[in-house]
A and B are shown apart, each in its own frame.
Chain A
């Protein structure tokens, strides 16, 4: 059977089984499924936040608590409708999330995780200790939900509501990930690359964090009205850990893994809570022992989780992501050939006491390939980072088409038409070639996360993918269009970097050792591509070690050594410059 059809059939069966569950399952089963639904909702947010964006939160349970307590207080103390409790719960969650997000998302990596532990614990103590929140006894008699003519009371009645919300959340995340903002979110794990292609990583992190928190807040709202009781217990660090455990078990980057993980963990926990006290002969939360050990073993031996394994059971679909036809994206016009577009003046960069770049100055004209060469450690890559805004300059100026660039962030500089490749490739290895290249076109789209979650940006998405596919073909990687980048040879990965830079529609292209790792014929193809780009009017700045490649390609050379310019001019003149020969080739000085 066709792979796509088979996958749809499996999905259909799952939905059918879910729909029929209340008709066949006992009360215990339905209760369990309701919990799985609620937990899945929180876990879905974590898949996006932790699994995809790489931001670990040990505090999601606290957001569930904010949602639950908000609606519980409003409905019990002030008698307002639970349906008004929902926006109130979302608003409260959003406020808390924005404050905490603003504070903690600036932290990187493990500091962020530690920060989430801190506020997770703080919030759970707030729930337990603030007067008016009912202390550790909680808030009883939270009203049920009802709509005119229908009252949600039984477990079965809540079942459809909970799962409707959960599946909608799932659909929104599937849609979101398969879009321009989704690719940006996936690029967040590599902030250097993301910023270099126009992604405001700080802002995007906050949005992702907010969305994950809101899903937790909705789960809290449902929790309060379903259980009709709120106490601090389920909102502590232990539950936050369980949510994380769910997505790791499910397969951290996989949307369906949230549901698989929630089901597995909830089922296992229920079973352990039944059996462990009997086995151990005393009562207590002994499932934490088993969970703790299982997490350790899982991370040691099977950190991929369940979904990739399930995924392999079904045949791969072989549909290319490249659209057959789409309206072309708008392109910037090249400036007049021969006009100076980039001027570097007295550029300086100090690392501690070391001057990595020391008073360097040069110009690049439209329709020119300028080579920047020099021994290892001469400061060439540092100069790249100064132009593209990844490093702040210690002194000097960079002007692009008359405008000062120094001081601008990287994402603003790519917006002005300067795109680059990296010496050490910055690609997302698990994403396909076309998707990686499409990240380059991020700045050429407009639609945001909401449109993507609602799938309202399909036309623009087709344009972006069409453009990405065009660039992939242009650099000669059409046969690898839908392969994971990580499976390509290193030389080919460098070429993917070029395609991604081209997808950003640059006026000036910065290439950091593009020919390294290429075979002879591939080098010739690359040279032909670069000449073609130059002839269209693009300016290219090239750092390269392969002297033969550089000599045959560039119009002019700038030679650096110890952060300074030691020569400049046409290749044939530079290669005879005694200073260049001395610095570049050196000598052991031990010869005869």
Chain B
């Protein structure tokens, strides 16, 4: 490996690492707030990328149907609960989020798609179609299991991953998609030729991470999410609804997932099952941050990107093996560091 190749690999690694970092932060947020290790995060990446690809063809993406169907089911679930408890107050909000919003977004997509609007509009539309899926999936799969163990929630998350994977195949088909680059801009930095797309990915990630940090530190809702994450009982005692926090966290995770998908789709060909592996690499980063530290999770994800980049050059067939095997020593180190026999560990 010579110096030029190494530089190229580093550039590649940082671009991928920046995306993994976005996913790692979103995964960590969801875990901290809802205790769900949301391995299905990757499907939001896929849906974001593929929705954009389909919009660029001038067609309406299958995400619309997914949104309408799942939203309808979520509303029915709320209706059933309201019926059982005879408490109807929350139903209006549910109808807005689960029925009105999907119909509005679907209508927009139906109207705009054939017009082939500018790229920026397409990107916003693609992301907007995915974001409501976050709270809807939370409502359907996780909200009824609020008191379940982390393990059961992980199991449910894996099941949700498989269901969404199949739905992705159904609505987008098995072929791969790649969207055109957002920009053809290129710039030489010393010996290195850096593409505008790379800069866009890195820049967007940095801005998003900054916005998330401001949200957590400057707004009461951001603090409320953190509060739910560190002490659920305490949060409830000051009037923060666990479900509201969960919805917000899942909306943010869907947003970050879809944005990653949109950003990565000009770089990699995306199939219906690509997102899972991408998000899992974000997860390795999250694990490096011990499922608690946001900065370490982001750095860990960056490290995963670099490791993957070099692994794919040195042993391309085994790059996934190398990346995922990294998780084991990392987890081991974390769990040895936080080991107490005295702690109760019930099912």
Contact = CB atoms under 8 A, between A and B. Distances in A.
A279 to B, nearest CB: 11
A347 to B, nearest CB: 15
Given A103-B328, A109-B150, A195-B341, A291 B321 contact: no
Given A56-B155, A288-B162, A296-B163, A119 B170 contact: no
A190, A282, A291, A295: most-surrounded residue (chain B CB, <10 A): A295
B19 to A, nearest CB: 19
A303 B347 CA distance: 13
B151 to A, nearest CB: 5
Interface in B113-164: 140-141, 144-145, 148-152, 154-156, 158-164
Contact of B346 (A117, A122, A189, A241): A189
A103 to B, nearest CB: 5
Contacts of B154: 56, 110, 113-114
Interface string B144-188: 110011111011101111111111011001100000000000000
A391 B331 contact: no
Nearest to B158: A241
Contacts of B165: 288, 292
A107 B347 contact: no
Interface class of chain A by DSSP: helix
B144 A115 contact: no
A280 B170 contact: yes
A289 B320 contact: no
Contact of A292 (B161, B325, B334): B161
A118 interface: yes
Given A125-B320, A190-B345, A285 B169 contact: yes
Nearest to B140: A296
A286 B166 contact: yes
B318 interface: yes
A282 B167 CA distance: 12
B332 interface: yes
B4 interface: no
Contacts of A115: 327-328, 331-332
A284 B175 CA distance: 12
Interface in A97-140: 100, 103-104, 106-111, 113-115, 117-119, 121-122, 125-126, 129-131
Interface string B326-347: 0111011011100101111111
Contact of A288 (B150, B163, B332): B163
A303 B345 contact: no
A410 interface: yes
Contact of B335 (A106, A284, A291, A391): A106
Given A110-B37, A289-B170, A390 B342 contact: yes
A299 B143 CA distance: 12
Interface string A53-73: 010101000000000000000
Interface string A220-262: 0000000000000000001001001100100000000000000
Contact of B318 (A54, A125, A195, A289): A125
B302 interface: no
A300 interface: yes
B220 interface: no
Nearest to A281: B170
A101 B244 CA distance: 39
A200 to B, nearest CB: 12
Binding site of B, secondary structure by majority: helix, strand, loop or mixed? Answer: helix
A284 B169 contact: yes
Given A107-B332, A110-B154, A122 B320 contact: yes
Contacts of B164: 292
Contacts of A296: 140-141, 156, 159-160, 163
Contact of A119 (B169, B328, B336): B328
A191 interface: yes
Contacts of B160: 292, 296
A266 interface: no
A391 B155 CA distance: 32
Contacts of B167: 289
Contacts of A117: 39, 158, 280
A107 B331 CA distance: 7
A238 B162 contact: yes
A172 interface: no
Nearest to A238: B162
Nearest to A298: B159
A107 B327 CA distance: 12
B163 A289 contact: yes
A403 B220 CA distance: 57
B317 interface: yes
Contacts of B318: 125-126, 129-130
Contact of B155 (A288, A295, A390): A295
A284 B173 CA distance: 9
B345 A103 contact: no
Contacts of A282: 170, 173
B166 A104 contact: no
A104 B141 contact: no
A533 interface: no
B287 interface: yes
A299 B162 contact: no
A451 interface: no
Nearest to B286: A114
A192 interface: yes
B150 A110 contact: yes
A195 B164 CA distance: 42
Contacts of A289: 162-163, 166-167, 170
A426 B339 CA distance: 20
A349 B167 CA distance: 55
A391 B342 contact: yes
A296 B161 CA distance: 11
A144 interface: no
Interface string A300-312: 1001000000000
Nearest to A291: B162
A293 B174 CA distance: 21
A282 B238 CA distance: 51
A385 interface: yes
A357 to B, nearest CB: 13
Contact of B144 (A58, A291, A300): A300
Given A190-B345, A284-B174, A292 B145 contact: no
Nearest to B152: A299
A474 to B, nearest CB: 28
A253 to B, nearest CB: 10
B265 to A, nearest CB: 21
Contact of B347 (A54, A285, A295): A54
Contacts of B216: none
A110 B339 CA distance: 14
A89 B155 CA distance: 29
B110 interface: no
Which has the most chain B C-beta neighbours within 10 Å: A110, A282, A287? A110
A117 B276 CA distance: 12
A118 B277 CA distance: 11
Contact of B159 (A126, A192, A291): A291
A103 B320 contact: no
A49 to B, nearest CB: 13
Contacts of A129: 317-318, 320-321
19 contacts: A58-B158, A108-B335, A108-B345, A110-B154, A114-B37, A114-B327, A118-B284, A121-B320, A126-B318, A129-B317, A192-B343, A245-B159, A287-B166, A290-B166, A296-B163, A299-B148, A300-B145, A303-B152, A390-B341
Interface of A: 54, 56, 58, 100, 103-104, 106-111, 113-115, 117-119, 121-122, 125-126, 129-131, 189-192, 195, 238, 241, 244-245, 248, 280, 282, 284-293, 295-296, 299-300, 303, 385, 390-391, 409-410, 424, 426
Given A103-B328, A288-B165, A289-B163, 17 more contacts: A104-B328, A117-B280, A118-B324, A125-B320, A125-B321, A129-B318, A130-B318, A131-B317, A191-B341, A191-B345, A282-B173, A285-B169, A289-B170, A290-B166, A291-B163, A295-B155, A391-B341
